[in-house]
Structure 1
């Protein structure tokens, strides 16, 4: 996608990683056009076989995403706002159901719909700092509408999730790491390099097995243990004859690093 003055979201491919870059000053707040561009980039990355991992990151220094643009939200009609929310829900759903590994790279404030966007990703990697992460919708007389409540309880458990949702009070990255909301926390000087290294490491892995692993984990959470074990058995059976499995076994026998497709 070619950048224009109205282009807030772009997709760049480097070493099998698709970087979806957000750049809507001053705080990466979203509106309908923002979400339409984000959906386009997610769908483009999903069907690009060269891309094995998707990274969602901000081009701004102090913000990942501060959620919906409140000024636009207030000036919109209810129907216009519902349409914007539907697009935000779709973007989160596309990220959460992607067959590829999706990483949220957070370097600044992630609030409301911004944190919901991050939680729709498989991993959240954050930069150290004093910025805030939270779901403050309760303070507007609302609740999260893009999956925030459901994804939060699955990430950090009922007790802490309920506290964050009912109070609307944000937390800092260090606390987010302690309670399991964030997978990893790195200093600013190495943050981008750490995200890149993690993404490229995963991108070199066996894509079919990675997709199967995601299905085991996410679908397994909804199933009984017996049904989960049956799902795992079905998925591993489907992998035995793949080129990646053959390469992995051959590389093990030959005592070398595998080269997956």
Structure 2
């Protein structure tokens, strides 16, 4: 039985870990309806008080996300395609500006817009395997339009980003890890458990601090050193009198694990 567009993307919560799951066979290729569902799932995740970490993952074995549905894209008029791209850009902005910590879980192909989704997340954790990652838009006469040019250069540097996008090359998860595109690479055997452990370790941390860390890094990389240091100082000053900072010090002195409540 085929799924309707509302079922292509769904949000669910387990403990303090939220998950947004893609499930549009055969490749999680997206169109405007998929992007509407993705935005709705992100709104639900960001509004969920219980979710401290949100993982993005695929229910399909071979694909994380293949990017835009090329056949549909080629058949649409320009205005429809621009509307879909606007929704995609809005979705990635919701990830980056969220106070929650987002993790892309990669164990299948992440290509074009699919890799752009992963790059908008705070971490990318990948399984070893024979799947590919890349931004091959140049082969369609386009360049990545959902932030791919800017996010890739910030992750791997201008030179490597130019090489990958100008040639349209796809790379293995092993190579992606080597160049810094992927943060962590685990064997396929035990991958789900490793991801769950990483996600839980972050979720157990202080939410206000993680939100401040995201802001410091995302905004600071666009600033000169003096402005970046001032941003950092302002953010940490706001944390000193929080319950969680006091709990962190107290737990350290009492030699016990801290219990953070996000206040």
TM-score (norm 1): 0.97
**Contact 1:15–1:200 at 8 Å: present in 2 too?**
no
**Structure 2 CA distance, aligned partners of 1:166 and 1:252?**
50
**Contact 1:89–1:146 at 8 Å: present in 2 too?**
yes
**Structure 1 CA distance, aligned partners of 2:46 and 2:34?**
18
Secondary structure of the structure 2 residue equivalent to 1:238:
helix
Aligned residue number for residue 258 of structure 1? 258
Aligned residue number for residue 74 of structure 1? 74
Aligned residue number for residue 88 of structure 1? 88
TM-score (norm 2): 0.96
Consecutive unaligned residues of structure 2, counting only runs of 5 or more, are: none
Aligned-pair CA distance for 1:5: 3.7
**What do residues 162-204 of structure 1 show as CA deviations (whole Å, max 9, x unaligned)?**
0011000100111000000000111112111111111111001
State how 1:173-212 maps to structure 2 within 5 Å: 173-212=173-212
**Contact 1:109–1:131 at 8 Å: present in 2 too?**
yes
**Structure 1 CA distance, aligned partners of 2:48 and 2:77?**
37
**Structure 2 CA distance, aligned partners of 1:253 and 1:64?**
43
Secondary structure of the structure 2 residue equivalent to 1:188:
coil
Aligned-pair CA distance for 1:15: 2.0
Secondary structure of the structure 1 residue equivalent to 2:240:
coil
Aligned residue number for residue 229 of structure 1? 229
Aligned residue number for residue 105 of structure 2? 105
Aligned-pair CA distance for 1:229: 1.2
**Structure 2 CA distance, aligned partners of 1:61 and 1:67?**
16
State how 1:19-38 maps to structure 2 within 5 Å: 19-38=19-38
**Structure 1 CA distance, aligned partners of 2:89 and 2:8?**
18
Instruction: Point out the more displaced range, 220-229 or 162-171.
Output: 220-229
Aligned residue number for residue 164 of structure 1? 164
State how 1:13-24 maps to structure 2 within 5 Å: 13-24=13-24
Aligned residue number for residue 117 of structure 1? 117
**What do residues 39-69 of structure 1 show as CA deviations (whole Å, max 9, x unaligned)?**
1111111111111011000000000000000
Runs of 4+ in 1 over 2 A off after TM superposition: none
Aligned-pair CA distance for 1:90: 0.9
Secondary structure of the structure 1 residue equivalent to 2:241:
coil
Alignment RMSD, CA only? 1.2
**Structure 1 CA distance, aligned partners of 2:69 and 2:27?**
9
Aligned-pair CA distance for 1:237: 1.1
Secondary structure of the structure 1 residue equivalent to 2:260:
coil
**Contact 1:19–1:56 at 8 Å: present in 2 too?**
yes
Aligned-pair CA distance for 1:252: 1.4
